[in-house]
């Protein structure tokens, strides 16, 4: 599988050049050119012909930083003759998009436009724990511990899979599933705040470097590449420094534009 990082941060921000890395965008990962995992960034990072190739969008939860690419994607595809793009999430996410975003107030209802028989977005719901087929991928959504109903994903193609934690605080089930998954080749785990803001991480239900490493130990696979994402841009240096102290040889703090093959 080829994973293209369109956005991998907990907010949008242009960093100072002295900080090395440039434009931070909210979370959106393009798998094999056709499946998105989260929709925080789409049009801001893709040409129109690339946007047209997207067939499915897996949504971890309803928070704005994970869905904000959807309205402009709909706009960009409005005169497109291709099939609808499938939005895939829990009933809370799909219902929430209908009620709060594509409600003809915040934005037009692209679940029925430009034509009810061929809307920009069609929808599919899943139940956490049940594996689903998404194009050529097999995906298991797993409930995690966040402020709103949220899942992480185990995304598998053939004999390879990767884990995507979703936004989460301390949780158990997803690490157990990862530990017993024979095809697992990489894990993407969030770390939003530095250790000294652990109280903020607790109330906003995110992870810190120390909590990330504790989660990793539960997978018991020190060989696995670990990709850290959902870093809040203003804490990027602090989080990277704190993670470096653990000297994990296979750990990368993700940047926009990276491509990962698993
Ligand atoms: Zn969130
Ligand atoms: Zn988020």
User: Ligand 1 centroid vs 80 CA: distance in angstroms?
Assistant: 31
pLDDT in tens, the chain (262 residues): 999 999 999 999 999 877 666 899 999 999 999 999 999 999 999 999 999 999 999 999 999 999 999 999 999 999 876 789 999 999 999 999 999 999 999 999 999 999 999 999 999 999 999 999 999 999 999 999 999 999 999 999 999 999 999 999 999 999 999 999 999 999 999 999 999 999 999 999 999 999 999 999 999 999 999 999 999 999 999 999 999 999 999 999 999 999 999 9
pTM (2 d.p.): 0.97
pLDDT at site 19: 67
pLDDT at site 18: 75
Q: For residue 114, what are its two tokens?
A: 């430009």
Q: For residue 164, what are its two tokens?
A: 């995507």
User: Ligand 2 centroid vs 116 CA: distance in angstroms?
Assistant: 31
User: Ligand 2 centroid vs 230 CA: distance in angstroms?
Assistant: 6
CB-CB contact of 85 with 123 (8 Å): no
Which residues does 30 contact at the CB level (< 8 Å), separation at least 6? 3, 4, 6, 36, 46, 50, 54
Q: CA-CA distances (angstroms) from residue 135 to 47, 55, 143, 200, 237?
A: 22, 8, 22, 38, 37
User: Ligand 1 centroid vs 22 CA: distance in angstroms?
Assistant: 23
User: Ligand 2 centroid vs 59 CA: distance in angstroms?
Assistant: 11
- Considering the four listed CATH numbers 3.20.20.70, 3.30.479.10, 3.60.15.10, 1.10.3720.10, the one that applies to the domain covering 2-261 is 3.60.15.10
User: Ligand 1 centroid vs 134 CA: distance in angstroms?
Assistant: 23
Report the candidate in 70, 51, 80, 60 with the shortest Cα–Cα distance to residue 108: 70
Ramachandran area for residue 32 (φ above 0: left; ψ -120 to 50: alpha; else beta): left
User: Ligand 1 centroid vs 17 CA: distance in angstroms?
Assistant: 28
| Closest ligand by atom to 10 CA | 2
The DSSP annotation for 65-96 comes to GGTTTHHHHHHHTTT--SPPEEEEE-HHHHHH
Rounded to the nearest 5 degrees, what angle is found at the Cα of 31, between the Cα atoms of 251 and 137?
A: 110
User: Ligand 2 centroid vs 153 CA: distance in angstroms?
Assistant: 15
Domain boundaries, the chain: 2-261
Question: In the block, which residue shows the tokens 């309205």?
Answer: 71
| Closest ligand by atom to 26 CA | 2
């Amino acid at each position: 599988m080829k994973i293209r990082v369109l956005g991998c941060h907990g907010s949008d921000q242009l960093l100072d050049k002295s900080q090395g890395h440039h434009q931070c965008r909210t979370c959106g990962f393009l798998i094999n050119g056709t499946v998105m995992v989260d929709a925080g960034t789409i049009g801001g990072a893709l040409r129109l012909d690339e946007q047209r190739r997207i067939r499915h969008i897996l949504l971890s939860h309803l928070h704005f930083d994970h869905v904000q690419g959807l309205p402009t994607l709909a706009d960009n595809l409005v005169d497109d003759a291709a099939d609808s793009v499938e939005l895939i999430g829990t009933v809370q996410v799909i219902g929430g998009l209908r009620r709060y975003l594509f409600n003809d107030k915040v934005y037009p209802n692209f679940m029925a436009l430009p034509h009810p028989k061929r809307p920009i977005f069609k929808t599919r719901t899943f139940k956490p724990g049940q594996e689903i087929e998404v194009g050529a991928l097999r995906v298991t959504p797993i409930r995690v511990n966040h402020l709103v109903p949220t899942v992480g994903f185990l995304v598998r193609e053939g004999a390879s899979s990767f884990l995507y934690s979703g936004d989460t605080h301390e949780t158990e089930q997803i690490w157990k599933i990862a530990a017993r998954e024979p095809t697992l080749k990489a894990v993407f785990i969030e770390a939003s705040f530095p250790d000294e803001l652990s109280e903020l991480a607790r109330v906003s239900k995110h992870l810190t470097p120390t909590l990330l490493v504790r989660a990793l130990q539960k997978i018991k696979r020190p060989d696995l590449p670990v990709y850290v994402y959902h870093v809040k841009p203003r804490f990027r240096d602090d989080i990277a420094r704190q993670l470096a102290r653990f000297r994990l040889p296979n750990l990368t703090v993700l940047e926009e534009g990276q491509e990962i093959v698993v």
